[in-house]
Each structure stands twice: as C-alpha cells, then as structure tokens.
Structure 1
Amino acid sequence: MPSSQIVAILAAIASFFVITLIFSLIYIICRITRKNRRVAESRPRTRAVRGRNRDTSTSVISVSESQLFDPSLNKIEMVDLVKATRNFSPDLIVGDGSFGYVYKARLATGVTVAAKKLGPDAFQGYREFKAEMETLGNIQQHDNIVKFFGYCATGSDRILIYEFIEKGSLDQWLYDTSSIGAAASARLPLSWRTRVNIMKGVAKGLEFMHNLDKPIIHRDIKASNVLLDADFEAHIADFGLARTIQESHSHVSTQVAGTMGYMPPEYIHGATTATVAGDVYSFGILMFEVATARRPNLRIKGEDGRDVRLVEWVMNMVSQNQQMKLLDARILKDELNKEEVHEYLSIATFCISEIPKLRPTMKEVVNLFDQI
C-alpha cells in the first residue's frame, strides 16, 4: 500500500476519534447542566415576588409566599373557599374591582362573607393584597370599617375575606349600577337624612384610622369604596392603596395615589407624599357627590354653559346662594331643611380647601356633623 494512502487512512481515523471526543464532551456537559437545573428547581423558594420592568405587568408568587404574612392573621384554606364559592361560580359574583372579582360565599361555619379574588398575574394586585394585609388585617374592629376575616395565599392565588355587607356600595345606590351578580333593579333614592348619616359614618371611620398610634391613610376614598349594611350604615372598604404612617409621620410610600376627581390638587400639582389631608379632601368631594348624585370625574354644564368639574360647579352654586338647586332632584323636598343643607355643604367646602393645612382634621369634621 502506498505511503500516501496509509497517511490518509491514519488522518481519517484521527479525525474520527477527535470528533467523537468532542461530541462526548458536549454530551457530558449537557447532562451536568440539566442535573444542576433540576436540583435548583427542586429547592424551596423563600421569596416569591419577582421584580418586573416597566414593560411587564406580571409577577409570580409561590406557595411559600404565605410565610411572609403575619402568622397571627387568619389563613383560610383554598379547598374551603372553593366549596364556599362553588368553585368561584360566576353566579356568586357580587362586585368587581380594579384587580379581580368579589364573590359571596358561605363558609362551613355558616358565616356569609365576601371573598375578593385578585387576578393572579397583576403586579399591582399583589401590592394591593399586601397593603390590605398590612393595614386592615392588623387594626382593631370599628363599626364604620369593613371587618377583615382572613386570607388565602396558594400558589399565585390571592384572596381576601371580609364580612358580607348586604346593600352593596354607595356608588350603586347613587347611580343604580347593579349589573353584576344579580339582575339590575330599581332602587329607591336615598333620603337626605340617610345621606347625611352615611357621610357621618365615613367621617367616623376616617377619624379612627387617622388617630391610630400608627395612622392609616386610605388614599382612595370614593363612593364605590363605601359599603352599606342593612341599616344603611357606612363601612369603609378597599384598603388596597392604604398606607401606614410610621414614626415622626414619615410615609411608607412617597407615591401619591387615588382616583381622578377625588384626588386633592396638591397631588395633581406635583406633591410626592400622601397625607391625611388628602383623605380629608377626598371626603369633601364625596360629600358633594352624595348631595348632588353627580360623578366628580365627569364634566357638568355650568350656568354659563361651560363644562366644569363637580367641585367648581358646586362652589359656583354655593357662592350664588343656590345650595338647594344643586341637590339630587330625587330627594323629596319636604324632608329638606335649608339650614341643614347649608351646614352640610359648609363642612364639605371646609374639607376641599386648596391649602392642605387649612383643611379640618377628621375629628373636627365629626364634631361638625354632630352640630348639624
């Protein structure tokens, strides 16, 4: 055999062994990598919230996330809630919020509750869940604040359980928005005396929150966050945006929040911290809304034909001594007392002062209601 052929054969054999060796090394590396990945994935995670960038809106929450919550809070098992809500049947939906639905449920103990099931992929929904746990779940009960019964945190599911409030939200009674969970039905208009009593109840609830050892700012006082029981007593609800003021009245969150139409002017004009004075302003706007049955975030045609905000329209009417004309036309005239209406609107006007320091405290507001 010529030497050239022998060299060629040896070269081919050497190439074969080199290629075989390379593929063997690649195979071994892949096996090791897969094994390490399985080991890493099998380890329990102690922190479940993953950060997100500005282009995403999801977060992942593991089962062990519940370990981060106050162990003194009542944890309700998912299997019990599935039974109580008939597997979260649409027929039991009694409301919907920014980040999920509210179901009417009857627990095995016989207690009827409202279960707010937050969307599993909503990052802001998770923040609201934590906020309610850290505020509503840790304050003593008050007649004008919805009672918190417990929570469920399983996998990515986050559910908050409250007392069930029979009459629904104030928003529904002002505008008859009942279209979820039951057939819409015409409601009798709220009497003037009932409206005043509702607002006095909201004032008492806020007074309680603002005067705790660590005051709580609700940050989203509005008609849909006030629930009415069988006696039309008010219960402040939805503490998803609430924040606790820590020592020296510094704030946990420097971000303002709320709903357009109810937000105080300092928030809109660039203020960076939420304050109790912001709640007072929102309360004043709610007083206007309850009296007029007009939404604060919608424009109203003023006397001069211009489209104006509710607050501007009411202030113009008050300045012209036209208080009785701005009231909800469904309120029976024979139950109205002109002096009482003027006093009510004076309190509201006091609350919506442009300068936060000039607004009353909620304790002062409650005292003013007692004098009506």
Structure 2
Amino acid sequence: MDSPFLAVLAAIASFFIITIIFSFIYIVCRIAKNPRRVLANRRRTRPIRSNSLTSIPESQLFDPSLNKIEMVDLVKATRDFSPDLIVGDGSFGYVYKAHLGSGVTVAVKKLGADAFQGYREFKAEMETLGRIRHDNIVKFFGYCATGSDRILIYEFIEKGSLDHWLYDTSSTGDASAERFPLSWRTRVNIIKGVAKGLAFMHNLDKPIIHRDIKASNVLLDADFEAHIADFGLARSIESSHSHVSTQVAGTMGYMPPEYFHGATTVTVMADVYSFGILMFEVATSRRPNLPIKDENGKEIRLVEWGTRMVLQNQEMKLLDVHISKDDLNTNEVSEFLKIAMLCTKEIPKLRPSMNDIVKLFEIQDETTI
C-alpha cells in the first residue's frame, strides 16, 4: 500500500477520533450543566428570607389590632410626601407633619426604601409602642405597609425635641418658632415626665427597655410636658428585667459602661444609666458625647465632670449659664444632681430603679413645698 493512501487513511481516522472526543466532551458538559440549572431553578423558587419587606404576608408581620392607615390617605395628608413638610430625619428616614382627613395633626415617619436596619426598627416600634399608652410616651396612631413602603404614624408633638431646646437647633421643625432658654423648673418637670414614662415601661408584665434614651428622643408638647419617642431599638423582655443582645445598641455618650465591658445581657438598668446622663445634660446643656476640659485642661466625660463638681459642692457652677437664677434653689439643684449620680453608678445593681427615682422626686417635691 503506497504512502499517499496511508496518509489519507490516517487523516480520516484522526478526524473521526477527534470528532468522537469532542462529542464526548460536549455530552459531559451538557450533563454537568443540568444539575446546576436544576439547582439554580430551586434557588429561584425558594421562599425569600424575612429580610425582604414584601416576602411575608402582613397578617403574619403585624398585630391585626393595630390601626392600618391607607397609603392614599397619607399621600394626600403629606402632599405626596412633600419636602416642605419634613420636620425630622434620621437613619430610619424622614418624619413629615401631616393633617389626616379626620382633622388630626400627626407625625408620619417613613422608612427609607433601602434601610434594612430601619425595617428592624419599624418592627420594634410596632411590637412595643403599638401596645402601650402613657401620658409621657408618644401616642401611636397606626401604620401603613404597602409594597416596600413602611410608615409609622404618631401624634404630632408641637414643641419638637428636647435636644432642639437645649441647644437652640433649628435645622428641623418649625424654624420660625420662638426659642428661649428653658427655666430650671421646666427642666426638672421634663425629667420627671421621662422618669414616669420609663417607670411605666419597666414595670409592665413584659417590661420594655428603650435602649436609646437621649435628648433628641424626648419630645415636648405645648405645655413642655415630656413624651418619650423613637422605640426603634426598644425590646420587650420575657424574664426578670433582662434581654440578651448580640450587639451594642444606643448612642455614644449615653450608653452604660457595661456595654463596653462585653456584657451581652441588657437590663432596665441600662435605661437608668442613660436617664442619669440625660439629667446631667438637661442641667448643663452640654452634649454627653463631647469631652469637657477640667481645671487642669484634661478632657473628661460629662458624667465624670458632673460627679466631680457635685462631690466638691460646686453644683451651681455646673448649670447652664442661660438658666434664670430667679427660681433656683441650691438644695433642690444639689438633690437633682445627686439623683443623676446614683443613676450613673458604674455597677448596674447599685443604680436605683425608675420607680425609686420617681419616689425620690416626689420626696424632693414634698421637702420644697
């Protein structure tokens, strides 16, 4: 057999062998792809996890006894969520002043569409604020949940937050509203209102820990009565005044020291500490998250400075310089700040309960009459 003929046979044989090999590889690849497609299809048909705002029926998410307000009514009340009606903002979203068809003026708190943390706060407020009523806690009127929109509706509190009045901030709310330094009597009355609201929460059958007591979360009505607001970090607790948390919650300057020592069990005493910080803040009009320079130029925290001044019997030097001296009583100021010191004890069990604090204020009232 001549060489050219053998060469042709070899070429034909090689072609068939290569064709068979490629065909085998193609078939193997097709088979390998099928399981992935099936898996992909399975993944696409799995139930969406609960972090999706639209995956779970509302009946499973919200207490059916809560008042649901329709989106069409809110759109009308807020003029389609007009920026002109914004009276507050935060990580949650924006707060709008609105007038419902019933004539009631409300605060409409709208969750940002991409704020998953805000959604968790929404749930927390629904599960806590939605089931309680007290004169010193902001009233919850209802909610709206449509598609990815999550909205909470509260009573509108005329004077805005305590933070605005302590620091004369007017970037939100009614900038044209008259602002003036709060008198000592008004400041004490505000603190008493916060104490009563917290005492109520802490003594429910299922106690509620607010976990973010601060000046911006205290709203003031037309008579400067205090209303605790923003329950986005609040938790109801099953056992005796404790809640296991996997993360630190609150605002720097107000958080208790145990949070920074690795404590995972949060108790009502965390609120007590934050309340004590608020007392120092109300007396001094100084922000707890900003350092203060002592007489030696050393930077210290507000609670350290306040405690030191009280122990040195220099309470009057602590006070906001804008407070009128006309209604100041040295003994009353001293007792007020001593309560703040008790609340901010480093060891939680040494702090008084909110019920005890309310009683201390009542005793103080009796002695000053």
> Shorter-chain-normalised TM-score: which range?
0.7 to 0.9
Runs of 5+ consecutive residues of structure 1 not aligned to the other structure: 50-59
The residue identity in structure 2 corresponding to 1:92 is L
1:351-362 pair list within 5 angstroms: 351-362=343-354
Structure 1 stretch displaced more, 247-256 or 216-225: 247-256
Report the counterpart of residue 118 of structure 1 in structure 2: 111
SS of 2:245's partner is coil
Report the counterpart of residue 291 of structure 2 in structure 1: 299
CA separation of 1:43 and 1:282: change in aligned 2, threshold 3 A: closer
Question: Is residue 320 of structure 2 the alignment partner of residue 320 of structure 1?
Answer: no
1:68 corresponds to which of 43, 57, 60 = 60
SS of 1:116's partner is strand
CA separation of 1:68 and 1:337: change in aligned 2, threshold 3 A: same
Structure 1 stretch displaced more, 349-358 or 174-183: 174-183
1:1-372 pair list within 5 angstroms: 48-49=50-51, 60-62=52-54, 64-72=56-64, 73-137=66-130, 139-183=131-175, 187-251=179-243, 253-371=245-363, 372=365
SS of 1:200's partner is helix
- The one-character-per-residue Cα deviations of 1:144-203 (angstroms, maximum 9, x if unpaired) are 011111111222211111111111000000011121244365511111101000000000
The sequence identity of aligned pairs, in percent, is: 73
CA–CA distance in structure 1, aligned partners of residues 147 and 38 of structure 2 = 25
Contact 1:63 1:155 in 2 (8 A): no
CA–CA distance in structure 1, aligned partners of residues 80 and 60 of structure 2 = 26
Structure 1 stretch displaced more, 60-69 or 169-178: 60-69
- The one-character-per-residue Cα deviations of 1:58-97 (angstroms, maximum 9, x if unpaired) are xx31164423223421122222111111111000000112
CA separation of 1:294 and 1:65: change in aligned 2, threshold 3 A: farther
SS of 1:360's partner is coil
Contact 1:280 1:351 in 2 (8 A): yes
Structure 1 stretch displaced more, 254-263 or 198-207: 254-263
SS of 1:177's partner is coil
RMSD: 3.1
CA separation of 1:127 and 1:111: change in aligned 2, threshold 3 A: same
Contact 2:193 2:227 in 1 (8 A): yes
SS of 1:333's partner is coil
CA separation of 1:127 and 1:318: change in aligned 2, threshold 3 A: same
Runs of 5+ consecutive residues of structure 2 not aligned to the other structure: 1-7
Aligned residues: 359
How far does residue 325 in structure 1 lie from its aligned partner after superposition?
A: 1.1
TM-score (norm 2): 0.85
CA separation of 1:269 and 1:40: change in aligned 2, threshold 3 A: closer
Contact 1:65 1:153 in 2 (8 A): no
CA–CA distance in structure 2, aligned partners of residues 255 and 336 of structure 1 = 42
The residue identity in structure 2 corresponding to 1:157 is D
How far does residue 117 in structure 1 lie from its aligned partner after superposition?
A: 0.7
